[in-house]
Structure 1
């Protein structure tokens, strides 16, 4: 079976707050926004300038000898470097100074001051640089959750995952490919928590992941100055086509009480969803007390009830056969 064709993410030019809120946001689909003023960062943020402004404050970074970074199996190590040294190394293709190998790759996802309690905030971790990056005013100030600095080596690919908050990915320097999948295709992505087990999305092992071909692939290439709107629950996978610097801005679009207050990364499921998943796990454990044929029968009844109560027509352009898929999926049949 061949992978499906790539569906281009639509591009919108000269988007302001009114256009975003009236024409783009309600669709709940990814969109590339061009011509949005991001500030002087677009001209200023060279490797040398970043190193000078960021100075020698220490940052915790991912270091890997392979370009497809996998969070599930941890094929990388965490290391600490002065920010200016990190930027220098990340911009190189071969290193005279290195931890693992001369062609190792680097990735920074900035963290809050207290990583267990505080979300990342560019204005707090890098105040001088934050003044040069203008966050688009597409949401109310009290909805703001975090602004995450992201810097990666050329060729580095990050694992497919979803976030529970809406976000804008601003590409300041370099070019980046982003592949996205609809929440409606979750059953085809072989999830482990919020991450897909399919590491190589361009040449997947279809013997192990046969359902993956059913997932519709949305794709775009971000140029410097582009914004990508990623609605909550949309899966995304990024590939740095060049050394690149970006900023992710996350905001709460659900009521504040819906989110886990002890979640500085903003990637924990909403509290109601977390409780539901825990209850489901308890229910599945109860089925283990039954013989196999009863377990299979009542498991199917549970699936049918989930379909009736939760599945809906796809408003975001994903697969419309999700109800049939849910009933027939090998991942939802009782083990």
Structure 2
């Protein structure tokens, strides 16, 4: 029996399939530099420590006491926003189910965007409104520094030790606010992300870039939600645009349809008030939240270095091998 097993192993080593290579890549990454849990620091690292231990190896980390000097930690609340910003106009994403920028059937569906006074949004957060749908402030155009300038004095426009490590200021600073129904579907960003929770808690499901062969994509017709006569409808994009998007919901994965996703383990973490998650560029992430949550995130442009080069090569191999995007 041992000789038979040795012979099989020998053949596998001599003639591995592409799938075997993909599995080895994902397994080796976890053995060499990743862990089942996101590590934690009790205080901010120095710029050198941050770059050496986390940015360069592309590893996430949760940093406690990362922004204790932010007045927002003690000031930001519904009563505070009511007192100071009742008439401020917000851009709010509206969906029937809390899933914005996500796959629904044959479509990649964007939220309906509405402008409303801060007071109206706060009424929704407190359950005082009869409006239908799930409302979430999630506009990612540096909405905090561009649309909500009055709030900037309660935070900082950058994280100094991170800016020193990255050698630049952030490209965008975004403000997030919503209830527990709001969900961000799995995706990746070409940014180094510092995600700071002010109130509530954010729950992340993470996958490193080396899991890319097991993350299923599809090619979907673009559409948007629109409330018409009191009911939400999916309205296809008149231009006929299509969007490649991740076809699996990590909260409830359909492994019959996407069996490869079952071959890799999710990395889960929860980020609470006063904590910062460093989410490296190109990491896949799904985000949900406990109760009402307020957060700020800083996007620093990524380095288009050898890591990016390797990742794009891996992505092209996956697409060729699987015929990804064909439906």
Query: Do the structures match in fold with TM over 0.5?
Result: yes
Aligned length: 258
Which residue of the partner structure matches residue 322 of structure 2?
330
Which residue of the partner structure matches residue 7 of structure 1?
36
> 1:128 Cα shift?
2.6
Which residue of the partner structure matches residue 159 of structure 1?
185
Which residue of the partner structure matches residue 29 of structure 1?
59
Q: Any unmatched runs of 5+ in structure 2? A: 1-34, 219-242
Instruction: Quickly say closer, same or farther: Cα 1:51–1:214, change in 2 above 3 A.
Output: farther
Distance 1:185 1:56 in 2: 45
Which residue of the partner structure matches residue 291 of structure 2?
242
Distance 1:327 1:201 in 2: 21
**Contact 2:143-2:173 at 8 Å conserved across structures:** yes
Distance 1:328 1:8 in 2: 32
Which residue of the partner structure matches residue 72 of structure 2?
41
Which residue of the partner structure matches residue 172 of structure 2?
146
> 1:151 Cα shift?
1.0
> 1:46 Cα shift?
0.8
**Contact 1:62-1:107 at 8 Å conserved across structures:** yes
**Contact 1:53-1:129 at 8 Å conserved across structures:** no
* Partner residue of 2:152 out of 94, 107, 130: 130
User: Which deviates further from its counterpart, 79-88 or 212-221?
Assistant: 79-88
Distance 1:182 1:328 in 2: 21
Instruction: Quickly say closer, same or farther: Cα 1:171–1:329, change in 2 above 3 A.
Output: same
Distance 1:123 1:334 in 2: 40
User: Which deviates further from its counterpart, 119-128 or 166-175?
Assistant: 119-128
* Partner residue of 1:197 out of 229, 235, 247: 247
> 1:238 Cα shift?
0.5
Which residue of the partner structure matches residue 84 of structure 1?
119
Distance 1:334 1:235 in 2: 21
**Contact 1:143-1:253 at 8 Å conserved across structures:** no
**Contact 1:166-1:232 at 8 Å conserved across structures:** yes
> Is the aligned partner of 1:106 residue 2:135?
yes
> 1:107 Cα shift?
1.0
Instruction: Quickly say closer, same or farther: Cα 1:236–1:194, change in 2 above 3 A.
Output: farther
Runs of 4+ in 1 over 6 A off after TM superposition: none
Which residue of the partner structure matches residue 268 of structure 2?
219
Distance 2:255 2:201 in 1: 29
Distance 1:41 1:162 in 2: 28
Per-residue deviation, residues 128-154 of structure 1 (Å, max 9, x unmatched): 311111332112474420001111212
> 1:329 Cα shift?
5.0
**Contact 1:170-1:225 at 8 Å conserved across structures:** yes
Per-residue deviation, residues 47-72 of structure 1 (Å, max 9, x unmatched): 12123333323222112221444534
Distance 1:87 1:219 in 2: 30
Partner-residue secondary structure (3-state), 1:139: helix
Instruction: Quickly say closer, same or farther: Cα 1:207–1:35, change in 2 above 3 A.
Output: same
Distance 2:265 2:252 in 1: 15
Q: Any unmatched runs of 5+ in structure 1? A: 1-5, 112-118, 259-269, 274-305, 312-321
Looking at secondary structure, tell me which structure has more strand per residue. 2
Which residue of the partner structure matches residue 206 of structure 2?
180
**Contact 2:143-2:174 at 8 Å conserved across structures:** yes
Partner-residue secondary structure (3-state), 2:151: helix
Distance 1:210 1:182 in 2: 18
TM-score normalised over the length of structure 2: 0.69
> 1:327 Cα shift?
9.7
> 1:108 Cα shift?
1.0
Partner-residue secondary structure (3-state), 2:52: helix
Instruction: Quickly say closer, same or farther: Cα 1:253–1:75, change in 2 above 3 A.
Output: closer
Distance 2:244 2:189 in 1: 8
* Partner residue of 1:97 out of 121, 130, 147: 130
